[in-house]
Structure 1
């Protein structure tokens, strides 16, 4: 079954959001899971 997770980032600002996304993506990749990132650009 497909699993979807949503996250709330406590730290304000785009730099904090990008750091979070990069860390999460790195962790998911290292675990061998698939990830889809939907972004504006």
Structure 2
């Protein structure tokens, strides 16, 4: 059984392991230009 969570930006279902900078974000949102607020 896989652990699932939601992307905090688009609410798409993602795997728990798919986190960026400690944020529960999908890779699409993390790479989106408008979301480059995490440094």
TM-score by length of 1: 0.24
Higher helix content, 1 or 2: 1
TM-score by length of 2: 0.24
Higher strand content, 1 or 2: 2
